């Protein structure tokens, strides 16, 4: 049972690849190493005892992809992570984002639709923009994306939906991630943010470890319980498990339609100040922070209604946010070493 994981050395991809191997599946990883390091492969091997097939290549490389598929005629699933993912970078480089994220997706869809290979797409809650009501449901209206990155997720979902209409034997699951945080409990794999981390938890852990003097809390006058933004922070291991559940859901033909969308979150909203407090409680470390101006483009509140994936696949988040934050800190300490 060979499963192709594109971007499989990335943050989410490497945790999914690890669980797939532990579930007894043959994993093929392709990654262009644009936003990760080859050492992640050693981490996966160290955890699972198996070194998955790896080829350094770009999903946009049509010849390379054709050759890969010819060499592996028994692909039973594609899990597609390979894409650029920085909101800010996408605003500065829209063409690169549309070309890479949508070009790569199209390349994979040519293969998956021709061979009716089940397809799992890494989407994002960003497609909802600022939702009117909480928790956010899959059938809530989508909003115009605030960034080219978010737009590539929105357009990517539409391309896949059109492919499912055109090819009745092609089946796909679109997973709308909320905010992934943390790392594998072994601290052998985790997130390698490039440069200054844009996301809250890696910036927080790098501040606590001493790389930065203070964490800036972007905005403290929002209409929320404590004035700071609210998000649905999900342990990356829970998120990874949702991909295994989705793959089994498609392989066992349990899907009622050939394109289904699922939120993947805990269903709980946590504010920035609450997260800081929970981190301090979970690790015993002090977080130096300062209340700062709001960040352009931030939504005020976003947390998932995750009942659909529970009802259809039996998946629900199991880790607490404290466990996720402890794993994030353990990973940061490991990186420093």
By the 10 Å C-beta count (0-12 exposed, 13-18 middle, 19+ buried), 192 is classed as middle
- b/e 62-95 (16+ beta carbons within 10 angstroms → b): eebbeebbeeeeebbbbbbbbbbbbbebbeebee
Following DSSP, what letter does each residue of 299-332 receive, concatenated?
Answer: -SEE-B--HHHHHHH-----S-HHHHHHHHHHHH
295 interacts with ligand WQD by CB under 6 A: yes
306 interacts with ligand WQD by CB under 6 A: no
Q: Of 65, 217, 240, 282, which lies in the binding site for ligand WQD, with binding defined by CB under 6 A?
A: 217
Q: Of 248, 298, 307, 334, which lies in the binding site for ligand WQD, with binding defined by CB under 6 A?
A: 298
Choices 46-54, 212-220, 236-244, 325-333; region in contact with ligand WQD by CB under 6 A: 212-220
What gap in Å lies between CA 179 and CA 248, rounded to an integer?
Answer: 23
216 interacts with ligand WQD by CB under 6 A: yes
Q: Which residue has the CB atom at the shortest distance from ligand WQD?
A: 229
Q: Of 80, 85, 176, 184, which lies in the binding site for ligand WQD, with binding defined by CB under 6 A?
A: 85
By the 10 Å C-beta count (0-12 exposed, 13-18 middle, 19+ buried), 52 is classed as buried
In degrees rounded to 5, what are phi and psi of residue 139? -90, 10
Choices 111-119, 164-172, 197-205, 318-326; region in contact with ligand WQD by CB under 6 A: 197-205
Write each residue from 115 to 154 as x if it is in contact with ligand WQD (CB under 6 A), else as -, in one continuous string.
---------x-x----------------------------
Residues recognised as catalytic:
149
Tell me the site size for ligand WQD, rule CB under 6 A.
19
Dihedral sign from CA coordinates of 12, 182, 125, 259: positive
| Interface ranges with ligand WQD (CB under 6 A) | 85, 87, 124, 126, 177, 179, 198-200, 203, 215-218, 229, 231, 272, 295, 298
């Amino acid at each position: 049972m060979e499963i192709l994981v594109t971007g499989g050395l990335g943050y989410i991809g490497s945790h999914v690849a690890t669980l797939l191997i532990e579930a007894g599946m043959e994993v093929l990883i392709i990654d262009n190493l644009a936003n990760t390091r080859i050492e992640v492969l050693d981490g996966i091997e160290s955890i699972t005892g198996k070194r998955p097939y790896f080829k350094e290549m770009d999903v946009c490389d049509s010849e390379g992809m054709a050759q890969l598929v010819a060499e592996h005629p028994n692909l039973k699933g594609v899990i597609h992570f390979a894409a650029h993912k920085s909101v800010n970078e996408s605003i500065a480089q829209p063409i690169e984002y549309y070309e890479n994220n949508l070009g790569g997706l199209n390349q994979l869809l040519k293969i998956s639709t021709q061979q009716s290979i089940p397809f799992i797409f890494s989407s994002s809650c960003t497609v909802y923009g600022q939702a009117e009501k909480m928790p956010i449901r899959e059938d809530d209206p989508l909003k115009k994306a605030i960034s080219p990155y978010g737009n590539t997720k929105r357009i990517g979902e539409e391309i896949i939906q059109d492919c499912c209409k055109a090819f009745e034997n092609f089946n796909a699951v679109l997973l709308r991630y909320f905010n992934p945080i943390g790392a594998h409990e072994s601290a052998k794999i985790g997130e390698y943010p490039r440069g200054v981390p844009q996301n809250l938890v890696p910036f927080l852990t790098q501040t606590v470890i001493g790389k930065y003097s203070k964490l800036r809390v972007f905005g403290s006058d929002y209409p929320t319980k404590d004035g700071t933004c609210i998000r649905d922070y999900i342990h990356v291991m829970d998120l990874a498990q949702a991909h295994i559940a989705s793959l089994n859901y498609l392989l066992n033909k349990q899907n009622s339609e050939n394109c289904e969308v699922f939120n993947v979150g805990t269903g709980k909203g946590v504010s920035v100040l609450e997260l800081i407090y929970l981190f301090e409680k979970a690790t015993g470390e002090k977080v130096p922070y300062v209340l700062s101006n709001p960040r352009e483009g931030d939504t005020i509140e976003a947390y998932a209604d995750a009942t659909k994936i529970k009802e259809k696949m039996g998946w629900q988040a199991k880790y607490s946010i404290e466990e996720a934050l402890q794993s994030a800190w353990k990973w940061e300490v490991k990186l420093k070493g």
